[in-house]
Amino acid sequence: YFRAKELMNLKNKTQVFMFEFSGLTDDKELTPFLFVLFLFIYIVSICGNSGMMTIVYISPSLHTPMYYFLSYLSMVDLFYSSVIAPKMLSDLLSDKKLITFIGCALQFYFFSAMIGTELLVLSIMAYDRYVAICRPLHYILIMTKKKCLSLVLLTLSMGFLHSVAQTMSLFSLEYCKSNFIDHFYCDIPPLVRLSCSETRTCTIVTLFFVCLFTISSTMTILVSYTLIISSILRINSVAGRRKAFSTCSSHLTCASIFYGTIYLNYLTPSSSSHKKQEKVFSVLYAVVTPMLNPLIYSLRNQEVKRAIMQCLCLQSWDDGNGSYLTQPPNSNVLLIELSMVDLFYSSVITPKMLSDLLSHSWVALFTSTSFVQW
């Protein structure tokens, strides 16, 4: 009797090696619309962020710390949208939305690293705006190239180091209740609900890093903009106030959307209705926000709009030495197009290949294969 009971308990605690997502929706009629919508959003996100990086690189007028951080933000958005969107689009066309245990861990690791990095980048951009507006005479001395590079490397290393701790604590748990994840990607709340082992350590690690990253970066932004607003209000010229506000409005809009959706997703009390809201908020900050960032900056920032028109041969081109050309070199437009094509076709194969290298079974559904080949 005791031997049979022990075998039954062992069977119940068998570790799963394959997860299945619930996906975005169970409505089959809504699936084609969602696929077209999110495919469009992903394409706009890829084109917008890669285009922003290229424009900042080739336009001499944008070679400042502010736009250096903006191009870095675009790179982070590019990577972290590519961690979620391709798999989500593939699952919309599949009946079985499967992912291996290793694939789930990799997806969460890179997604967590990119989110942590983006939180820190947004706070650094707020600090950059504070120095530019509140201490303009010392701006060049404070925001040197060396300091900007150091800040970028610091955010990247902190983002990946925190993700290592998060991933190790989350995927060291035993998952034996079920392999069905009520979500469309691997995230902490739905995975913890599946665990049949003690989750206290994972919860403590999660709370520590959430508080460390979100609260510290939020406080940096709030303090920076409090000082910025007080400094702007002391400007006598109305035109000067408007110009100062315009340089901050794009960043403040992007940060508000990103932080707002994250706080709503992770700080809302858990309930049955919250699971549906969780998917909506996750779509907003994981898929939609990377698309909005380059659009907001390109529509609300006059310098970026001017650089885009110069790149498209619509205005005179500043060569950086005070002289102007009637048109920029035509190769710049081709460079942007080539970069986008390379980005798309490497992203089609490489993520799946890397996941398969760490998996014991290489599974590809017919619909997923057709989508990739298309």
Residue 5: inside a domain, yes or no?
no
Chain-centroid distance, C-alpha 35:
20
Tell me how far apart the alpha carbons of residues 326 and 292 are, in angstroms, rounded to a whole number: 32
Identify whether the C-beta of residue 197 lies closer than 8 Å to the C-beta of residue 150: no
Identify whether the C-beta of residue 128 lies closer than 8 Å to the C-beta of residue 66: yes
Which tokens belong to 121? 């980048």
Identify whether the C-beta of residue 47 lies closer than 8 Å to the C-beta of residue 293: no
Which tokens belong to 136? 């303009």
Burial class (CB in 10 A: 0-12, 13-18, 19+), 302: exposed
Domain of residue 341, residue span: 27-368
Identify whether the C-beta of residue 119 lies closer than 8 Å to the C-beta of residue 213: yes
Overall number of domains in the chain: 1
Q: Which of 260-264, 299-303, 340-344 has the lowest mean pLDDT?
A: 340-344
- In CATH, what number is assigned to the domain containing residue 78? 1.20.1070.10
pTM for the model: 0.79
Pairing of strands 18-21, 180-181: parallel
Q: How confident is the model at residue 40 (pLDDT cuts 50, 70, 90)?
A: very high
Residue 22: inside a domain, yes or no?
no
Tell me how far apart the alpha carbons of residues 214 and 206 are, in angstroms, rounded to a whole number: 12
Confidence (pLDDT) at 4: 44
How confident is the model over 193-202, as pLDDT tens digits?
A: 888 888 888 8
How confident is the model over 123-142, as pLDDT tens digits?
A: 999 999 999 888 888 888 99
Instruction: Give residues with Cβ within 8 angstroms of 263, minimum separation 6.
Output: 214
How confident is the model over 53-112, as pLDDT tens digits?
A: 888 888 888 888 988 998 999 999 999 888 999 899 988 888 888 888 888 999 999 999
Instruction: Give residues with Cβ within 8 angstroms of 159, minimum separation 6.
Output: 113, 114, 115, 116, 117, 118, 120
Burial class (CB in 10 A: 0-12, 13-18, 19+), 106: buried
- Residue for token pair 């005791």: 2
243 pLDDT more than 50? yes
Residue 4: inside a domain, yes or no?
no
